[in-house]
């Protein structure tokens, strides 16, 4: 009897860790090493180093701190996402960094997480972003919108959202307010699959790379609102 050939092992997601705190890099590097589908290929202590490693190593994902000496995480994110590496960037920060987060997302970050999240959740986020999906925790989205809504002077200019239906506009507003597909489905009395379809259409119509960009568009269009507690 012929034994079928084994399926080739999946290529691990290649990750660069950028943080000026060696202990944080060491903790992330340790858990990434233990994950069979992830591989830590480089570490950077500055934003400039992160940009250089992204260009040299061509990782799938860069996990980026915002506050770093020299080139900060926002500028490093912009340089990486606009550069030749095509790496996805996940921003790791603390709640005290709220004022920087909007800039990081505008710079092209595909994910936003906080450092006190469980390490397993951070690993899961790396996998999600590597697969081409944006990720931003709903609770964090709500906090950000509330933060920026209270600062009229720093509010971005309004943008027009054209070419979408009224229902899609409703869905965009709910995405911007931090609701998941399941929460959107419950709010609009539709199925989760239908909510997902609306989000997919919005991504295509608005030329958004991922859900994170939809949040930004909703905010800039004045559609995002602060959810009631």
Three-state SS for 109-144 is CCEEEECCCCHHHHHHHHHHHHCCCCEECHHHHHHH
Instruction: Say what the pLDDT of residue 120 is.
Output: 83
In eight-state DSSP terms, residue 92 is E
Instruction: Say what the pLDDT of residue 175 is.
Output: 86
Instruction: Say what the pLDDT of residue 16 is.
Output: 97
Sheet containing strand 13-18, edge to edge, reads 38-44, 13-18, 61-65, 88-93, 111-114, 135-136
Could you give the CA distance from residue 177 to residue 143 in angstroms, rounded to a whole number?
10
Phi, psi of 33 (to 5 degrees): -60, -35
Residues 51, 76 contacting (CB under 8 angstroms):
yes
pTM of the model: 0.68
**Residue-wise pLDDT tens for the chain (229 aa)?**
444 444 344 689 999 999 999 988 998 899 999 999 999 999 999 999 999 999 999 999 999 998 888 898 999 999 999 888 889 999 887 755 556 767 777 788 888 787 777 888 888 889 888 887 666 655 555 555 555 545 544 455 567 788 999 999 999 999 887 788 888 999 999 999 999 999 999 989 998 877 777 877 888 888 875 544 4
Could you give the CA distance from residue 61 to residue 14 in angstroms, rounded to a whole number?
7
In the block, tokens 């589908």 appear at 37
Spatial CA neighbour of 144 closest among 106, 171, 118, 170: 106
Question: Which class for 44: exposed (0-12), middle (13-18), buried (19 or more C-beta within 10 A)?
Answer: buried
Instruction: Say what the pLDDT of residue 146 is.
Output: 55
Instruction: Say what the pLDDT of residue 161 is.
Output: 85
Domains of the chain: residue spans and CATH: 13-136 (3.40.50.2300), 146-220 (1.10.10.10)
The full length of the chain comes to 229
In the block, tokens 């996805």 appear at 88
Could you give the CA distance from residue 177 to residue 16 in angstroms, rounded to a whole number?
31
Residue 172 structure tokens: 């965009």
Q: Is 62 helix (H, G, I), strand (E, B) or coil?
A: strand
Residue 144 structure tokens: 């950000």
Instruction: Say what the pLDDT of residue 8 is.
Output: 41
Give the contacts of 187 (CB within 8 A, at least 6 positions apart). Answer: 174, 179
Instruction: Say what the pLDDT of residue 7 is.
Output: 36
Residues 209, 200 contacting (CB under 8 angstroms):
no
Residue 82 structure tokens: 């606009």
């Amino acid at each position: 009897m012929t034994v079928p050939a084994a399926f080739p092992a999946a290529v691990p997601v290649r990750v660069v860790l950028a943080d000026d705190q060696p202990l944080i890099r060491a903790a992330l590097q340790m858990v990434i090493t233990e994950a069979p589908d992830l591989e830590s290929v480089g570490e950077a202590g500055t934003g400039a180093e992160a940009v250089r490693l992204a260009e040299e190593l061509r990782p799938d994902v860069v996990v980026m701190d915002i506050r770093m000496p020299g080139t900060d995480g926002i500028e490093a994110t912009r340089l990486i996402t606009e550069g030749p590496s095509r790496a996805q960037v996940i921003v790791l920060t603390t709640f005290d960094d709220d004022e920087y987060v909007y800039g990081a997302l505008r710079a092209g970050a595909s994910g936003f997480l906080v450092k006190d999240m469980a390490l397993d959740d951070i690993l899961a986020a790396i996998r999600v972003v590597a697969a081409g999906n944006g990720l931003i925790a709903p609770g964090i989205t709500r906090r950000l919108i509330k933060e920026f809504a209270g600062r009229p002077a720093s509010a971005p200019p309004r943008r027009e959202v054209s070419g979408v239906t009224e229902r899609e506009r409703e869905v965009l507003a709910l995405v911007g307010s931090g609701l998941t597909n399941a929460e959107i489905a419950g709010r609009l009395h539709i199925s989760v699959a239908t909510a997902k379809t609306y989000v997919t259409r919005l991504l295509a119509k608005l030329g958004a790379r991922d859900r994170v960009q939809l949040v930004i568009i909703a905010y800039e269009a004045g559609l995002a609102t602060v959810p009631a507690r």
